[in-house]
């Protein structure tokens, strides 16, 4: 009776631990799947290119509401400083608002943030959300790996005897240090981009307007967030958009961006 009484709670405890470990393994696999999904979405999604023969209807950069006339477009040989619309001499085409030329890709990219060597692609209007999710899931993976290795790292400096070969101990120690360093670096990068999303700007735009206090596309944190992640909360943490969001939010296409109605272009 005594042995049986002791065995029941032990069996129950082992079952709970096994069930808990099963769920942890499932969650770990899910995060890995989301990380890979986000990564390949950034790699293989076109960040956004200027449509052929695209021409602006309004001078959105200056906040004008009157349609542009033919004489105001200028030509490729004109002085770009005097043009009322942005023109790329390298691509020989007009540039939509918030569009920049990438010297690596050799083309203009819609709402270009930067060219990322880690994904061998530009980060722009159509894959910026996927890039942010890639950073987020990478941070989660490296953080959990760091926490899992933390007891072994602490035991490495303890006075007691540590099981394992010297090679395994060295590998565990190095893995902990690398995961911790990578998690902290990704966290810093993620925080920087969260601040950019909150202000509805990009890395390039933040550098260009660092001396100007006003930004015409800053619509408030909530609307700024929706212009990157959409309105449907079910899609916020997966690298895709709902058809309804694509239809309702023109900014997701990278060509049209709402701005403050009371913005004075002359003060910018």
| 116 flagged as catalytic | yes
Helices marked H in 45-105 — which ranges? Answer: none
Query: Considering 99, 105, 116, 122, which one is annotated as catalytic?
Result: 116
> Which of 220, 224, 222, 196 shows the shortest CA–CA distance to 114?
196
Distance CA 17, CA 28 (A): 16
Q: Cβ–Cβ contacts within 10 Å for residue 148, how many?
A: 14
- What is the maximum alpha-carbon separation in the chain? 99
Percent helix / strand / coil, the chain, rounded to 5? 55, 5, 40
**Can you tell me whether residue 221 is helix, strand or coil?**
helix
Tell me the residue length of the chain.
268
Active site residues: 116
């Amino acid at each position: 009776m005594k042995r049986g009484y002791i065995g029941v709670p032990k069996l129950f405890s082992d079952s709970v631990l096994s069930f808990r470990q099963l769920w942890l393994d499932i969650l770990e696999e899910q995060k890995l799947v989301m990380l890979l999904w986000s990564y390949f979405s950034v790699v293989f999604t076109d960040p956004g290119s200027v449509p052929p023969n695209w021409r602006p209807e309004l001078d959105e950069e200056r906040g004008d509401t009157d349609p542009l006339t033919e004489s105001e477009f200028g030509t490729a040989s004109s002085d770009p400083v005097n043009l009322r619309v942005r023109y790329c001499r390298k691509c020989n085409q007009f540039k939509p608002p918030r569009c920049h030329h990438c010297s690596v890709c050799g083309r203009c990219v819609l709402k270009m943030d930067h060219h990322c060597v880690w994904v061998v692609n530009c980060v722009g209007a159509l894959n910026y959300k996927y890039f942010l999710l890639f950073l987020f899931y990478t941070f989660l993976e490296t953080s959990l790996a760091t926490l899992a290795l933390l007891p072994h790292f602490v035991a490495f400096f303890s006075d007691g005897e540590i099981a394992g070969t010297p090679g395994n101990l060295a590998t565990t120690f190095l893995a902990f240090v690398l995961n911790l360093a990578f998690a902290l670096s990704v966290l810093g990068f993620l925080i920087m981009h969260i601040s950019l999303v909150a202000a509805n700007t990009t890395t390039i735009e933040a550098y260009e307007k660092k001396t100007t206090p006003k930004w015409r596309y800053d619509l408030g944190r909530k609307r700024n967030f929706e212009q990157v992640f959409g309105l449907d909360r079910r899609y916020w943490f997966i690298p895709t958009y709902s058809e309804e969001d694509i239809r309702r939010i023109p900014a997701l296409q990278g060509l049209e961006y709402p701005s403050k109605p009371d913005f004075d272009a002359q003060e910018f």
